[in-house]
Amino acid sequence: MKFQFTDTKVDSVFGMTDDIKKNLTYFNTNKDTISILWNQNNTPVTLEIDNTIIELQPNQLITTTYLHYVSYQKTEKPLTVFMFNRPFYCIRDHDSEVSCNGILFFGTQELPIVTIPEDQKRKFSTLYEIFIDEFSTSDKIQGDMLQMLLKRLIIICTRLAKEQLTLKKLNNEQIDLVRRFNVLVDEHFKTKRKVSDYADLLFKSPKTLSNIFALYNQSSPQQIILSRIALEAKRLINYTDKQNQEIAYDLGFNDPAHFSSFFKKMTNYSPTKYRELYKN
């Protein structure tokens, strides 16, 4: 099963399939595609994201953005995927409505995996059936209806994520601060390396940020910034033909030797050794 809605006037695309590996070439995916992946099987599904093997358990969802490199080569079972681009639904522009930025999407933590609780399985199944029905109904308001359904799906997943992804220790204001920090790091990590840079953007003190993240998880704000730089370096090594010197300059390092030292500290490998071991 595969569906795709397009609006050529604004280049918007929204697709859904119950088997992404089988139907991937059908979709008009591009550099700004965002996806919600859902394992509707009774057994785990394997996929690879940024060179990391993910075992998605039954009734779990995971989200990816155009910043991720996703491979379905190891995926042997059907995997349901919703995929959309910014013209169809911009999660940044609609952040005040769904509050998903920095939690479901564009976060700097580990990939967000959400588990559907037993008492909500019927809700997700019903929503899925409504998606199928709406994709099958071609009229003037189809795009609006699909956008409304996608918004509902994102909101439900965000609520679950806030409960499950160690955020329940925080109040709403603290959660909002965490997710805004994550989004800002994703936007500025190449040019802003200090916690104080982000504290200024958030109108908070560096100490306030550190204290809140101590409640959130074990990574400090500074560790999150450095990890984001290292992740981008890995992506550039794995998925581009750029050499170490060019990658260093892309990431804001004035000295390639400094970049090499940083990368080895973060990964235990020099950029050259990492390339030999992991380059696809």
- State how beta strands 34-38 and 70-71 pair: unpaired
Between the two ends of the chain, the Cα-to-Cα distance in Å is: 31
The Cα 76–Cα 196 span in angstroms is: 46
- The neighbour count for residue 12, using CB atoms within 10 Å, is 19
CATH architecture of structural domain 169-280? Orthogonal Bundle (1.10)
Q: Does 169-280 match 2-164 at the fold level?
A: no
Residues 33 and 68: beta-carbon distance below 8 Å:
no
Helix (H, G, I), strand (E, B) or coil at 135: helix
User: Which sequence spans correspond to the domains of the chain?
Assistant: 2-164, 169-280
Q: Which CATH number fits domain 2-164: 3.40.640.10, 3.40.50.11740, 2.40.50.100, 2.60.120.280?
A: 2.60.120.280
Q: Which amino acid is at 226?
A: L
Which helix (H) or strand (E) segment is 125 a member of? helix 121-135
User: 223: which strand partners?
Assistant: none
DSSP type of residue 166: S
Query: What's this model's pTM, rounded to 2 decimal places?
Result: 0.75
Q: How far does CA 169 lie from the centroid of its chain? A: 22
Q: Positive or negative, the Cα torsion across 163, 165, 169, 172?
A: negative
Residues 194 and 252: beta-carbon distance below 8 Å:
no
Residues 250 and 236: beta-carbon distance below 8 Å:
yes
Could you tell me if residue 146 is left (phi over 0), alpha (psi between -120 and 50 degrees) or otherwise beta? Answer: alpha
Q: List the pLDDT tens digit at each of the 280 positions of the chain.
A: 999 888 877 788 899 999 998 888 888 766 678 899 999 999 999 999 888 899 999 999 998 888 788 888 888 899 999 998 888 877 565 555 555 555 666 665 567 889 999 999 999 999 999 999 999 998 889 999 999 999 999 999 988 888 887 665 667 787 778 878 888 888 899 999 999 999 999 999 999 999 888 876 657 899 989 988 998 998 899 888 899 999 999 999 999 999 999 999 999 999 999 988 876 5
